[in-house]
Structure 1
Amino acid sequence: MLKKLFGKKEKAPKTIAIHAPLTGTLKSLEEVPDPVFSQKMMGDGVAIEPTVGKVVSPVEGEVMQVFPTKHAVGIKAKNGAEILIHIGLETVSMEGGGFEAHVSEGKKVNVGETLITYDLDLVKEKAKSTITPILITNGDNMGELVKKDASAVTAGQEEVLEISSK
């Protein structure tokens, strides 16, 4: 009877798909022209060379952090994976110019929900690169990471990674 009253507790999924958070061309992290990302110092993942200045949620989860300069956002997926999306390289020096956050810390998000929009042409002009790393920052606490094969990806559509919890 109590189960009927309170319902079953929803169990966190063990393996989740991480969808493309941007529209563009999928690249390997090794192709990112910055050793912090290409040498996986902050975590493993993939990168996207964007063609549109819009970042959407790659998973169902919760926004952990929106950087004050709005050039990066961190999300915790339902299985515990922590995902960092870092828009461009050396974009922190833009001090938020051209970036607009549509979410804040603690917001629950669904796949495809807009997180940040930005002026892609301005990033091309002011930053070192527009390439955007998508990292699993707590990979040591997670299980297997599978990178999907794709070239052209659409934000919120194609799966680019699959991550399992331990």
Structure 2
Amino acid sequence: MFKKMFKKKEEVTDVSIHAPVNGILISLEDVPDPVFSQKMMGNGIAVKPTDGVIVALVEGKVIQVFPTKHAIGIKAVNGAEILIHIGLDTVNLEGEGFIAHVQEGNSIKVGDKLITFDLDIISEKTKSILTPVIITNTDDMEVIRLSEIKKVTAAQDEILFVSK
């Protein structure tokens, strides 16, 4: 009876990262911002959103919601730290058009609504709607495999596979 209570929990090493939004996958190298295209923040992929709903792409915990709500940091169960950055230069909107549905410390499951945003405002007032998904601790991960799919459905299609 007590063996089950004190049994060491198995460590999760592999995580499938799903699309955080419906859209079209774009290579990180094709993002028109050198911080992302030159992988200064880490490896990943980008999505050109077709709607304005960002959902959880892994099981994990919200580790940061930017005050302007244009980006969110998530820690997956295997320790991968993921940044979802909605659009480019969207920090300049100072929160206009964004609504956060979670806060730091929240546990999340794939498909949970994280942030909603007005695609029209971002299209009109920023450089790009492209949404980079970055593994910010790329150096701690052994394998990062990018998806070959082009059109993705949020919370359903795998866009990255990360192994610790």
TM-score by length of 2: 0.97
Alignment map for 1:39-50 (pairs within 5 Å)? 39-50=38-49
Counterpart CA distance in 2 for 1:91 and 1:27 is: 18
- For residues 86-135 of structure 1, give each alpha carbon's deviation from its aligned partner in whole angstroms, at most 9, with x where no partner exists: 00000000000010000000000000111000000000011110000000
Alignment map for 1:1-166 (pairs within 5 Å)? 1-4=1-4, 6=5, 8-165=7-164
Counterpart CA distance in 2 for 1:12 and 1:56 is: 25
Give 3-state SS (helix, strand or coil) of 2:120's partner: helix
Give the number of equivalent residue pairs.
164
Q: 1:143 Cα shift?
A: 1.0
TM-score by length of 1: 0.96
Counterpart CA distance in 2 for 1:109 and 1:11 is: 20
Give 3-state SS (helix, strand or coil) of 2:40's partner: coil
Give 3-state SS (helix, strand or coil) of 1:33's partner: coil
Counterpart CA distance in 1 for 2:65 and 2:88 is: 17
Counterpart CA distance in 2 for 1:159 and 1:24 is: 13
Note the residue ranges of structure 1 that are not aligned, 5 or more in a row. Answer: none
Give 3-state SS (helix, strand or coil) of 2:44's partner: strand
Give 3-state SS (helix, strand or coil) of 1:89's partner: coil
Q: What percent of counterpart residues are identical?
A: 59
Amino acid at match of 2:16: A
Q: 1:10 Cα shift?
A: 2.8
Give 3-state SS (helix, strand or coil) of 1:12's partner: coil
Counterpart CA distance in 2 for 1:21 and 1:120 is: 15
Note the residue ranges of structure 2 that are not aligned, 5 or more in a row. Answer: none
- Aligned-residue CA RMSD (Å): 0.9
- For residues 19-76 of structure 1, give each alpha carbon's deviation from its aligned partner in whole angstroms, at most 9, with x where no partner exists: 0001000011011000000000000000000000010010000000000000000000
Counterpart CA distance in 2 for 1:81 and 1:21 is: 15
Counterpart CA distance in 1 for 2:130 and 2:26 is: 9
Counterpart CA distance in 1 for 2:33 and 2:96 is: 22
